[in-house]
Amino acid sequence: MIFTNPTFEKISTPHGGSILVRNFSYVPRDTRPYWHYHPELELVYVHGGNGKRHIGSHLSYFQEGELVLIGPNLPHQGFTNRLSGHSSETVVHWSADFLGPDFFDVPEMAPIKRMFELSRKGLAFTGKTKFEVGAKLERLYELNHFKQVTRLLEILNDLALSDEYVLLNAEGFSLEVEGQDNDRINKVFNHVREHFQELITLTEIADLVSMTEPSFCRYFKKLTSKTFIQFLNEYRLVHASKLLAEKKISITEVCYESGFGNFSHFNKQFKVFTGKTPSQYRSDLKEIIQ
């Protein structure tokens, strides 16, 4: 598979509007690069379904939809595909200063301004907030430009006052948006995505980006706050979570289909990552569904 570079995404607002609201009842083809960034903030609501989130160096599996706020220049991938099982996806983009450079400096906007700062690490909203605010977000598409702005402010205030959220990159993600860095990390993430079910060595991945192993290890840790092996294992564990939730296959098959070559190692890593053994994780999911 060929991946194009650079992965900067240009966001164009509609004529007469300052925010871009899109609603997809299907998964569009080739509309967004796999691993991309943009200076605008992005608020995404996935109505129902399950999938993977990859934001900065954070990897996890979401269920029953998703409501996530992504800050400026925070690299991420799309959240849905044709197997996600969602009914629709609403995506909103806006510039931090879309209402003027000083608008969010007034006292009434302080909670929203703080949330914008937190969004640089990525925020996933949970509980009632996800569903109630998500429903409001879906209706934005039907409004005129003026009402979209006023309603977006209400939505942002609802989110800013909620405590139902998870900070996705708590340890930070220090990617400087420069051509060389972005090209390198793009190659690494895409290689993991395509080959995580196979053996990937440090020598192989360092050669891919024309670096020595020690230099690559320092580079990757500085950029993502994780070792490459930790990132690779997390990618495999997120895939295992997806298989446990969606496929009626044995846990042994899940282990090997996720790229782990040792069953006991897989069990140990999965429990560290999720707090549960694979069998407990699947059992708990069944109880939730029932």
Question: Same structural domain for residues 143 and 218?
Answer: no
Is the per-residue pLDDT at 241 higher than 50?
yes
**Sign of the alpha-carbon dihedral angle for 114, 120, 126, 132:** positive
Question: Same structural domain for residues 56 and 158?
Answer: yes
> pLDDT for 251-270, tens place per residue?
999 999 999 999 999 999 99
**Sign of the alpha-carbon dihedral angle for 117, 123, 126, 129:** positive
Question: Same structural domain for residues 95 and 154?
Answer: yes
Domain that holds residue 183: 179-289
Q: How many CA atoms lie within 13 A of 195 on its CB side?
A: 14
Question: Same structural domain for residues 151 and 127?
Answer: yes
Q: Specify the number of domains making up the chain.
A: 2
pLDDT value at residue 32 = 46
Task: Give burial (CB, 10 Å; 0-12/13-18/19+) of 185.
Answer: buried
Q: Rounded to an integer, what distance in angstroms lies between the CA atom of residue 154 and that of residue 66?
A: 19
Question: Same structural domain for residues 230 and 112?
Answer: no
> pLDDT for 102-154, tens place per residue?
999 999 999 999 999 999 999 999 999 999 999 999 999 999 999 999 999 99
Question: Same structural domain for residues 163 and 203?
Answer: no
Residue 231: CB atoms within 10 Å = 19
In angstroms, the first-to-last Cα distance of the chain is 40
Question: Same structural domain for residues 41 and 91?
Answer: yes
Is the per-residue pLDDT at 29 higher than 80?
no
pLDDT value at residue 181 = 67
Question: Same structural domain for residues 126 and 202?
Answer: no
By C-alpha distance, which of 7, 15, 69, 72 is closest to 40? 72
Tell me if 2 is assigned to some domain. no
Token pair recorded at residue 95 = 């510039």
Question: Same structural domain for residues 183 and 88?
Answer: no
- The CATH code of the domain that includes 44 is 2.60.120.280
Domain end (from 121, 141, 167): 167
- The CATH code of the domain that includes 212 is 1.10.10.60
Percent of the chain residues topping a pLDDT of 70:
91
pLDDT value at residue 285 = 78
Tell me if 35 is assigned to some domain. yes
**Sign of the alpha-carbon dihedral angle for 226, 229, 230, 233:** positive
Tell me if 85 is assigned to some domain. yes
Question: Same structural domain for residues 145 and 193?
Answer: no
Q: Where are the alpha helices (DSSP H) in the chain?
A: 110-118, 127-139, 145-160, 179-195, 202-208, 213-224, 228-246, 251-257, 263-274, 278-289
pLDDT value at residue 35 = 78
Is residue 184 within 8 A of residue 175, CB to CB? The reply is: no
Domain end (from 167, 195, 224): 167
Helix, strand, or coil here: 127?
helix
CA 134, 136, 142, 147: dihedral to nearest 10 degrees? -130
At residue 287 the predicted structure's pLDDT band, cuts being 50, 70 and 90, is low
Tell me if 9 is assigned to some domain. no
pLDDT value at residue 81 = 82
